[in-house]
Chains A and B, each alone.
Chain A
Amino acid sequence: NAGVTQTPKFQVLKTGQSMTLQCAQDMNHNSMYWYRQDPGMGLRLIYYSASEGTTDKGEVPNGYNVSRLNKREFSLRLESAAPSQTSVYFCASSEFRGGAAEAFFGQGTRLTVV
């Protein structure tokens, strides 16, 4: 099983360029997330989608937009990339039953903005 698949794995952007990070999960999970990982800061939540058709901001949403295209896919868009958005981005999914669930992570997208 593929689990959570992210594309691309690596990307270099120039300041001001836009791009979309793609994420798909094949576990039929309702909830999906985008995190960014920076050295010494752990993972910080950018946006999440509790279920198909809903999205909400996390801790660090500025400069990003998301789309929950369907139950499987959750994309993250950078409209005008900035060097501060250089990071490793992780998509995750989970299924809440009884109020708790572990998250399953993709392999990450390493983004550099120059």
Chain B
Amino acid sequence: AQSVTQPDIHITVSEGASLELRCNYSYGATPYLFWYVQSPGQGLQLLLKYFSGDTLVQGIKGFEAEFKRSQSSFNLRKPSVHWSDAAEYFCAVGSKSDTGRRALTFGSGTRLQVQP
């Protein structure tokens, strides 16, 4: 069964500082990987996704993530954080199977706080 671990429940960074949110996955084959962001009281918005090819993927709002197969990781990064980035971030893994369950499996989330 696939699973996702986000080791950091809560992270605080200063505005303008760099950011890295960690994500480790467990899946038998090459996974499909996603990062979503959730602002308070809102639904989830897709930041970026990895399906295949280049292991460094670019997303919206200046975010990027790197797929490292050897470490089973898909960490999210941003070089300079803005106050509006304060939100909860979810990593998710999807199945490639054309049969059976196709739903995404989510990590428990990392809440990002940005200090002025």
Contacts and interface: CB of A to CB of B under 8 A. Distances in A.
A99 B23 CA distance: 22
Contact of B44 (A41, A48, A90, A96): A90
B97 to A, nearest CB: 7
The majority secondary structure among interface residues of chain B is: loop
Contacts of B34: 102
B98 A99 contact: yes
Interface residues of B, number: 28
Interface residues of A, number: 28
Contacts of B49: 102
Contacts of A103: 44, 103-104
Nearest to A110: B41
A77 to B, nearest CB: 19
A104 to B, nearest CB: 8
Interface of A: 4, 31, 33, 35, 40-45, 48, 50, 56, 58, 90, 92, 94, 96, 99-108
18 contacts: A4-B43, A31-B102, A35-B106, A42-B106, A42-B108, A50-B102, A58-B101, A90-B44, A96-B98, A99-B98, A100-B32, A100-B51, A100-B96, A101-B102, A105-B36, A105-B45, A107-B43, A108-B43
